[in-house]
Amino acid sequence: MKNRLRIARAEVRMTQQQLADAVGVSRQTINAIEAGKFIPSTLLALKIARHFGKSVEELFLLEENE
């Protein structure tokens, strides 16, 4: 699963730590999501999307082979 989380953070000049604090996870979790090493739960994906005022589909992209 690809994501546009880093881009969304950059648009609002937000650090990984600030996003982590806002959605209740560790900075390492945000880092792992951005690196594609961790797929967030539905609840976490919804929290992140809500924080940015975007839909889940705008931030997380399901690839063809998934």
pLDDT of amino acid 61: 93
Tally of structural domains, the chain: 1
Q: Is the dihedral of CA 23, 27, 32, 34 positive or negative?
A: positive
66 assigned to some structural domain: no
9 assigned to some structural domain: yes
pLDDT of amino acid 64: 82
Residue 65 in this model has a pLDDT that exceeds 90:
no
pLDDT, tens digit, for every residue of 3-62?
A: 999 999 999 999 999 999 999 999 999 999 999 999 999 999 999 999 999 999 999 998
42 assigned to some structural domain: yes
CATH number at residue 26: 1.10.260.40
**Which domain, by its residues, includes 55?**
2-61
10: exposed, middle or buried (Cβ count in 10 Å: 0-12, 13-18, 19+): exposed
24 assigned to some structural domain: yes
pLDDT of amino acid 31: 98
